Amino acid sequence: MSQNYFSHLVCAECNKRHDGNFVQNVCTDFNCLGSLLAQYKLDESTVTKEDIKSRPFNLWRYREFLPVVNSENIVTLGEGGTPLLKADRLGKAFGFSELYIKDEGGNPTGSFKARGMSVAISKAKELGITKVAIPTAGNAGVAIAAYGAKAGIEVVVYMPIETPEQHKQECRYYGAKVIEIDGNIGDCGKLVTELCQKEGYFNISTLKEPYRLEGKKTMGYELAEQFNWELPDVILYPTGGGTGLIGFWKAFEELEILGWIGKKRPRLIAVQSDHCDGVVSAFHNKKISVEAIDRGFTVANGLRVPKPYADKLVLRILNDYKGTAIGISDKEILQALSEISRYEGLFPAPEGAALWAATKQLKAQNIISESDKVVLINTGNGYKYTDNIWG
Ligand SMILES: Cc1ncc(COP(=O)(O)O)c(C=O)c1O
Ligand SMILES: [Zn+2]
């Protein structure tokens, strides 16, 4: 077993230290309840970039900087190691010289949620957890159902009734119990909290559990490596709960401590649905937290999150990284999806397509320039959204 540098957990809001060897959800300080961030003894690391390069291209190549202490607990379906595609034809047609798409659609279960769930379920196994519950807009539910099946952990999934049928059925195939709710993901979240309190399930909601974030941060490690440890100028991320955004920030801060990257940071851009744009509104109004906004269904189901749990951290990161936030309509999302498909031979999730619509708008506003090195994180595969895409 290789050395692992996982040390403890720290509250993102009050900095209180928490033990990483016990089952934890959020900061136990009653007035705080902040998200917990895994910490590593990075200054003790002897791992080199060359060590990493010699390993299989999946997320466990960064295992020393992931929280699973005993490698025997790793539950893997081959997640991570996704391609960074240069979107030359799309870029050229719309006046971008350095446009890239990191395509997460090839992950197990078809989305980047596989990264988070591989790490979260592995750590749950390490901590002896046997049953978990989650509110989900779709992809996270499918991913946790698959990793739960692989680990022999019982999974209960609460999903809005409007979620495309493909997501629900795939969960059932993996043996998860699917409970459909006539409401949004926030309503599902309340029922999960109740279930966990009453029946002892472990709550694995976005950022109410520390380790999904660790899986997502590997997108940042991978991207840095794929750009030969020189970060791009702009990264666009489809923001629901914001785990990916926080994951990029966490990855880059860790990589700088490791001495693998320098001080340069990309501008991080949060892209939301204009039906659910609480982060956009809070960011532009210079607020420190988000007020819930929900104007109903969007074709990008993963973006119907009225208020991210770690809203304050998301806003701090957008400010620190000189980013911005923008809301996109369903019509613009579907137009962008057809442009990406036609020019790049890639069928993205609507959440990923929203990023392309945002890129065009931000260029028109002179916030992104023609020569910027721009990366769109296509978080999922369009196959599971055909209900939404062609009705
Ligand atoms: C494809 C896709 N992209 C983006 C998101 C939003 O992710 P996060 O909640 O981490 O911001 C989701 C969430 O369901 C998703 O399924
Ligand atoms: Zn705290």
**Residues 261, 285: Cα–Cα separation, whole Å:** 33
36-40 β-sheet, strand order: 17-18, 6-11, 36-40
Phi, psi dihedral angles at 122 (to 5 degrees): -60, -45
For the segment 106-120, the average pLDDT, to the nearest whole number, is 98
Q: What local confidence, expressed as pLDDT, does residue 3 receive?
A: 86
Phi, psi dihedral angles at 346 (to 5 degrees): -130, 135
**Residues 388, 240: Cα–Cα separation, whole Å:** 18
**Residues 77, 106: Cα–Cα separation, whole Å:** 12
- Average pLDDT taken over every residue of the chain: 97
CB of 239 closer than 6 angstroms to any ligand 1 atom: yes
CB of 135 closer than 6 angstroms to any ligand 1 atom: no
CB of 240 closer than 6 angstroms to any ligand 1 atom: yes
Q: What local confidence, expressed as pLDDT, does residue 2 receive?
A: 63
Q: Which DSSP helix (H) or strand (E) runs through 235?
A: strand 234-238
Could you tell me where the DSSP H helices lie in the chain? 49-53, 88-94, 113-126, 139-151, 165-173, 185-199, 212-226, 243-258, 278-284, 311-320, 330-344, 350-364, 386-389
Smallest CA separation from ligand 1 atom 15, residue:
302
DSSP annotation of 376: E
Give the three-class secondary structure for 334.
helix
Mutate which of 139, 207, 277 to test ligand 1's pocket (most atoms within 8 Å of Cβ)?
139
For the segment 82-88, the average pLDDT, to the nearest whole number, is 98
**CATH topology assigned to domain 113-203:** Rossmann fold (3.40.50)
Q: What local confidence, expressed as pLDDT, does residue 342 receive?
A: 98
Smallest CA separation from ligand 1 atom 7, residue:
240
Total-model pTM: 0.98
Pairing mode of beta strands 131-135, 154-160? parallel
Smallest CA separation from ligand 1 atom 14, residue:
302
Q: What local confidence, expressed as pLDDT, does residue 248 receive?
A: 98
**Residues 254, 161: Cα–Cα separation, whole Å:** 39
**Residues 148, 3: Cα–Cα separation, whole Å:** 26
Give whole-number Cα distances, 383 to 105, 139, 174, 285, in Å: 9, 12, 18, 36
CB of 206 closer than 6 angstroms to any ligand 1 atom: yes
User: Over the stretch 262-301, which tens digit does the pLDDT of each residue have?
Assistant: 999 999 999 999 999 999 999 999 999 999 999 999 999 9
User: Over the stretch 236-256, which tens digit does the pLDDT of each residue have?
Assistant: 999 999 999 999 999 999 999
CB of 380 closer than 6 angstroms to any ligand 1 atom: yes
Contacts of 229 (CB under 8 A, 6+ apart): 49, 255, 260, 261
User: Over the stretch 155-197, which tens digit does the pLDDT of each residue have?
Assistant: 999 999 999 999 999 999 999 999 999 999 999 999 999 999 9
For the segment 99-119, the average pLDDT, to the nearest whole number, is 98
Distance (Å) from CA 312 to ligand 2 centroid = 13
Smallest CA separation from ligand 1 atom 9, residue:
241
Q: What local confidence, expressed as pLDDT, does residue 153 receive?
A: 98
Q: What local confidence, expressed as pLDDT, does residue 30 receive?
A: 84
Beta partners for 36? 11
Q: What local confidence, expressed as pLDDT, does residue 143 receive?
A: 98
User: Over the stretch 346-382, which tens digit does the pLDDT of each residue have?
Assistant: 999 999 999 999 999 999 999 999 999 999 999 999 9
For the segment 10-32, the average pLDDT, to the nearest whole number, is 95
Q: What local confidence, expressed as pLDDT, does residue 386 receive?
A: 94
Ligand nearest to the CA of 311: 1
> Which of 377, 339, 130 lies closest to 232, judged by CA?
377
pLDDT band at 212 (very low <50, low <70, confident <90, very high): very high
pLDDT band at 1 (very low <50, low <70, confident <90, very high): very low
Atom of ligand 1 nearest to the CA of 238: 4
For the segment 12-38, the average pLDDT, to the nearest whole number, is 95
Q: Domain 84-111+210-389, what architecture?
A: 3-Layer(aba) Sandwich (3.40)
Domains 84-111+210-389 and 113-203 share a fold: yes
For tokens 């081959």, the residue is 78
Phi, psi dihedral angles at 179 (to 5 degrees): -115, 120
Ligand nearest to the CA of 109: 1
For the segment 143-148, the average pLDDT, to the nearest whole number, is 98
Atom of ligand 1 nearest to the CA of 349: 1
Q: What local confidence, expressed as pLDDT, does residue 160 receive?
A: 98
CB of 137 closer than 6 angstroms to any ligand 1 atom: yes
User: Over the stretch 332-346, which tens digit does the pLDDT of each residue have?
Assistant: 999 999 999 999 999
CB of 139 closer than 6 angstroms to any ligand 1 atom: yes
pLDDT at 74 over 50: yes
In the chain, what are the domain boundaries?
84-111+210-389, 113-203
For the segment 29-55, the average pLDDT, to the nearest whole number, is 96
Q: What local confidence, expressed as pLDDT, does residue 103 receive?
A: 98
Distance (Å) from CA 379 to ligand 1 centroid = 7
